[in-house]
Structure formats: structure tokens, C-alpha cells
Structure 1
């Protein structure tokens, strides 16, 4: 069992049951497809009507794949992971004057809020209640500890900038590790697609933040 599979954030049924498709009642249907936050999904309109772009989290039907333990645990762990990132970005405006730090925070917020909605909608379509809040996940996957978050809240100016970048780089590295585990072991199309989006987008942001930290 990997470290990600040990995360128990809101997981209310056994992994054995999940590998069968989350419940016996769902064995005869595919897992839900939802629009993510990456490339736009264009839905066709009726005869003579224009198409439209699906909104993040919108239910698009069902895939032919079946959700497994890896898919569900990924979704249920990534939601609180993203929530902590948003908690960190919410501190930026009052604690820095550096427009580069503010721009990074804005990009993180713009990408991760829709991803939380997509993950939540996917879980809800399976009849699962998304996890509430976050418990810092024991510091796993780059999650900041309570002590680190308190230091970040207390910091200002250059001290805040450096600590924010340091913590967010570690946080992003953890998200990339989670995404890579989902890509390797997950089977659901939607979750694998979102994981690839997370891995690619956050790797770019890691490199950008490292350059700022080295300045």
C-alpha cells in the first residue's frame, strides 16, 4: 500500500469494496464524467444551435471505466490538499507587496477552485460525501503543519514571501506525487485526466516559484 492509499480523509468504505466499483449497485454503469479545469470541453448544441463550453464540475455523462480505490482516494485526498493551498493564497494580499507573489497566488486560486468543484462533483455522482475541511494529512504530500501555517500567518513582507514560496513549492511537489500515483494506478478517465492536468500545471508553477526564491 502506498502512502496515498493510507490517507483516510473521509474514506468511509473499504478499499476492497472500492475496487469493485465503489458499490455492487454501480457495477453495471460507468463512472461519471465531469468537466475539469484544463482544456475546455465543448458540448454540441441542438439542431441549428451553437455549442457551448462545459463549466468545471459539470456532469457530462458516464465513462466506460470503473472507479477503483486509487481513483476515489485520489479525489478524497486532493480536495483537502487543494483547500490548504487556497488557505495559503488567501493570506497573500495582506502580507506582501510583491506583485509576483500575488500573481502566483492568483493563478493557484484560479486553477484549484475549479478542480475542487470537479472532484466534489465526481465524488457526489458516485454517492460519496466529499471530505470537509482538512486535517493537514499528518504533513504528508507537502501539506504544511499547524506550526508552519501559524508562522506563515505571522510573517510579513520578504519573510512572508520566502516562507510562502518554500511551503508552496513543497505543497506542489506533494500534489505532483499524488497525481503521479493516480496516473500509474487509477483507471477512471476523469480522475486520470485531472491528475495529468495537476502534474503538468503544478510542475510549471514549481519551476516559477523556485526562480523567485533564488532571486
Structure 2
């Protein structure tokens, strides 16, 4: 299991103290609330969130959607833009990865695509729940209808064009492998750029942690893909 998968899919503990919440992983936060209080922390429907009981009492598992405390971080426009851009970006990577089983016989390519899917699906879920908790709409899923295109005004960042996606869909064997690797390397480089922008301007702890994980994980994957292209 990769570090990125473990970061968003492992067992989650939420410690409530002094009116604040310490979130280790797997929860979402909303924007600044009235009165300048911290953002509510909302339990998701993935890994369980344990809420400790009073001294001497046992803890309990929070229900999905339950507000279990407040984060000390504040969401900014940069955080929102990062999530809104990264969700369709990740979706296109999943779409490309999902093409591999029927188009390649190379176990290394299949393994790479499996790792990409395992790492990015949980991240999409975290960002989508974070946006909903903030009262924002999650970008529409256009996968299969134009290659997971980005929302208007958010193109670029290494995303494949419709023509490139159609070429990938029609490729097989070694031709598919080479095209997938070239497109995915460029795609990952775009994600790293996006993550850098979040780290430069974002303020929300969860989104900044996400950006750090994306940048580090995708740099490793770029190295593996470049080695496969040789």
C-alpha cells in the first residue's frame, strides 16, 4: 500500500479538546463560520472516525455526515480552487488507468495503473466531501464524455485532450503502453504544479496535506514511468 493510499484510507482518530479537533486523516472541513470559529470537521463514510468519550468512558464511532468538532484551519479561495481543479484532474487519470486491463499485457503497466487508481480514488472522495461540507458543488463527472475534461477556465495542468484520449482508447499493446506513459507523465507534472499552487496560497490543513501527498506521490510515480519508457 502506498503512503498516499494509507494517508486517506487508514483508521482515523479524532481527539476533541478545548473546542478544537485534531484530524489525522479521512475527515473534511468547511469554510470559516460566523463569528470566526474554526471550521466544522465532518465524518465521512470511508474509514471510521472515533470520538473519544469522557474520562472513564468508552469512545464511539461517528456517523457519516456528523460534525465531530472544529478545525483550527480556515479554507481560502486557493483551497477551494485546488479541490475543484484536482477532482476532474484525478478523474481523467482514473479514466486512463482503467483502460489498461483491456489494452496491455505488460504486468508493470497494469500494476502502475492499479496503484494510480488506489491512490487517487480516496483523494477524490476526500475532496468531494470537503467541498460539499463547505456548501460548494462538486465538479460534474464527465468521464467517458471528453476524457474527464476540466471545468471551463481550468484547462491545462497536463490534462489530455479529447483527441489524445481517443488515440489512447484505440491503441493496443506496446503503442498503448508508450502513449499512456507519455500522457500520464505530463498529467502528473500538471498535478504537481497544481499542488505547488495550493501550498503557496492555501490555508486549509486538509487541502495542504492533500497537496503535499499528491506532489510527493506523483513525483515517485513519474520516476517509475520514465524508467518504463526507456
Q: TM-score range by the shorter chain?
A: 0.7 to 0.9
Q: Larger RCO: Structure 1 or Structure 2 (Cα < 8 Å, ≥ 6 residues apart)? A: 1
Moved over 6 A (4+): none
Judging changes above 3 Å, is the alpha-carbon distance between structure 1 residues 151 and 184 closer, same or farther for their aligned structure 2 residues? same
Mark the runs of 5 or more structure 2 residues left unpaired by the alignment. 1-29, 142-147
| Matching residue within 150, 174, 185 for 1:158 | 174
How far apart in 1 are the matches of 2:217 and 2:66? 21
TM-score by length of 2: 0.72
Q: Identify the residue that residue 145 of structure 1 maps to in structure 2.
A: 161
Instruction: Please state how far the C-alpha of 1:62 moved relative to its aligned partner.
Output: 2.7
In structure 2, the residue matched to 1:99 is 107
**Are 2:197 and 1:181 aligned?**
yes
1:135 is matched with which residue: 136, 146, 149?
Answer: 149
The structure carrying a bigger helix percent of its residues is 1
Measured against aligned partners, the alpha-carbon deviations of 1:142-196 in whole angstroms (never above 9, x if no partner) come to 0000000000000000000000000000000000110011011100101001100
RMSD between aligned residues: 3.0
Instruction: Name the structure with the higher strand share.
Output: 2
Which stretches in structure 1 are left out of the alignment for 5+ residues? 1-20
Report how many aligned residue pairs link the two structures: 189
* TM-score between the two structures when normalised by the length of structure 1: 0.77
